[in-house]
Copies of this chain bind each other. A is one copy, B any other.
Amino acid sequence: MSFNIKDIAKLAGVSPATVSRVINGTGNVKDEKRDRVLKVLEETGYKPNALARGLIHKRTYTLGIVVPDISNINFSEFVKGVEKEAKEYGYNILLTTSGNDLNREVECFEVFKEKRVDGIIFTGTRYTEKHKTVIDNTPIPFLVFGQNFEHENIISMNIDNKKAAYEATKLLFSKGAKNIAMIGGPLWDRAAGYDRFMGFLTAAVEEGLNPNNLIYEEGDFTIKSGYELMRAILDKQKVDAILAANDFMALGAIKCLLDLGIYVPKDVQVVGFDDNIISGIYNPSLTTVKIDFNRAGRMAAKSIINKIDGKIIKKYIELEYKLIIRNSTK
C-alpha cells in the first residue's frame, strides 16, 4: 500500500499543496495544520515519489557510473569513494559495468540518458570516435577517470602515468637493475598501457639500454597474465627487474618467480602499480606506485556535482601518486 500526496492531504484534512509545503519547507503553513500533516506523514511512512519530483525539477539526484569491472579492487575503491561523496550531496549512484566493451559502454550511456541521471562518471580504457559522438549527443555532465580525454565539455581526471612509470623504472635502476623488462597493459589503453610503457621506455633509454632489445609483454591486468608473461620473459632472456603495469600482474609475476625458485628481490626485483590491499601483506610485500582510488572517486563525485550545479571547474584534474617502497625491491 503506497500513499500519494492526495491521500496524505485527505487524511490531514488539508490540500495537497499544503502537504507539499510542509514536506519541502516552502511557504508558510499554520502551525496547527503543519502538526496535523506531520503526524500523518509519520503514521503513514509516506515518501514522496522521486519520479514525479524528478519530472518537475529535471533533477534525479542520481549519478550514472560505468566501470569495466566492479570486482576489480581499484574500481570498487573508486566507486566506494564516489558513493560516499555523492551521498553527502544527496545523490545516489546507478552502477553499470562494461567489461571494457565499447558497445556495452554505449548501452550504459543510453540507459543513463533514459533514466535522466544528472551526471555521468566514466572509467574506461579507450576513447574512440564513437565515444565522442555519443558523448556529444548526451547533454549530461560527463567526467572521465583514468584517461585524458581531450574533448570539449568533459572533465577528465588522471595521474601522469608516464611520469609515474618513469620514476618506478628509475627506482629499479637505482637499486642496481641491469636487465629490465615490463609486463604492461595493452597499448590501446592509452593511460595504463601506453603511457606507462612510454615512461618505462624513456627511463630505460636514458639508462643506456637499447630500446630494440627491451622486453615488453602485453598483459590484461590479471594475476594470471602476470604469471604467464613472467614465464614467457624468463624463457626469452635473463632479467633482474620487472616493472608491471599493475599490482595483480606484479603479484602473478612474483608468484611465478617463487614457484621457479627464483628469489625476489635478490634475483629479480619487481615493482607494480596501484597499491592493492593485498600488496602490503604479500610475501615479499610489493613495491608499487600507489594510486588513491578512493580519494579519486570522492573527487570525481565532487567535481561532477559541481558541474551539475553550474559551477566552473577545471577541465583536467591531475591526481597524485606515490612510490611505496617495500620488499620486492632491494
Segment 10-46 of A: residues with Cβ below 8 Å from B: 45
Q: Is A116 an interface residue (CB 8 A)?
A: yes
- CB neighbours (8 Å) of A72 from chain B are 76
Which one of A50, A73, A79 has the highest number of Cβ atoms from chain B below 10 Å of its Cβ?
A: A50
CB-CB contacts below 8 Å: A151-189 with B: none
**How near does chain B come to A275, taking the closest CB pair, in angstroms?**
13
Any chain B CB within 8 A of the CB of A94? yes
A97 within 8 A of B: yes
Q: How far is the CB of A253 from chain B (nearest CB, A)?
A: 11
Interface status of A126 (Cβ within 8 A of chain B): no
> In angstroms, how far is the closest chain B Cβ from the Cβ of A40?
14
Interchain nearest-CB distance for A99 vs B (Å): 9
Decide if A114 touches B55 in the complex (CB within 8 Å).
no
Closest 9 pairs between A and B when the two form their complex, measured CB to CB = A76-B76, A95-B95, A50-B114, A45-B137, A278-B278, A47-B113, A50-B115, A71-B80, A71-B76
Cβ–Cβ < 8 Å partners of A255 in chain B? 281, 283
Decide: A70 near B80, CB < 8 A? Known: A223-B281, A283-B283: yes
Q: Is A77 interfacial (CB-CB < 8 Å)?
A: yes
Answer whether residue A52 sits at the interface, using C-beta atoms and an 8 A cutoff.
yes
A111-B45 Cα distance, complex, nearest whole Å = 13
A201 in the interface (beta carbon within 8 A): no
* Contact (Cβ within 8 A) A77 B73: no
Q: Per-position contact with B for A69-110: 1 when CB-CB < 8 Å, else 0?
A: 111110011011001100100001111110000000000001
Size bin of chain A's contact surface: 35 or more
Q: Which of B49, B80, B258 contacts A97 (CB 8 A)?
A: B80
Could you tell me if A114 and B278 are in contact, using CB atoms closer than 8 angstroms? no
Residue of A51, A72, A80 with most partner-chain B CB within 10 A: A51
A54 within 8 A of B: yes
Q: Is the beta-carbon distance between A79 and B87 smaller than 8 angstroms?
A: no
Q: Is the CB of B94 within 8 A of A92?
A: yes
Task: Name which of A55, A79, A94, A95 has the most chain B CB atoms within 10 A of its CB.
Answer: A95
**Residues in B neighbouring A211, C-beta threshold 8 A:** none
* 23 A-B pairs with C-beta separation under 8 A: A2-B139, A47-B110, A51-B51, A62-B94, A70-B76, A70-B79, A70-B80, A70-B83, A71-B77, A71-B277, A76-B76, A79-B95, A83-B96, A87-B96, A92-B115, A94-B94, A94-B95, A223-B281, A227-B281, A255-B283, A258-B283, A282-B282, A283-B283
Cα distance A1–B294 in the bound complex, in angstroms: 33
A251 CB–B CB distance under 8 Å: yes
B87 touches A80 (CB 8 A): no
Looking at the complex, which one of B96, B223, B227 makes contact with A92 (CB distance below 8 Å)? B96
Q: How far is the CA of A49 from the CA of B115 in the complex (A)?
A: 7
Say whether A269 faces chain B, with CB atoms less than 8 Å apart.
Answer: no
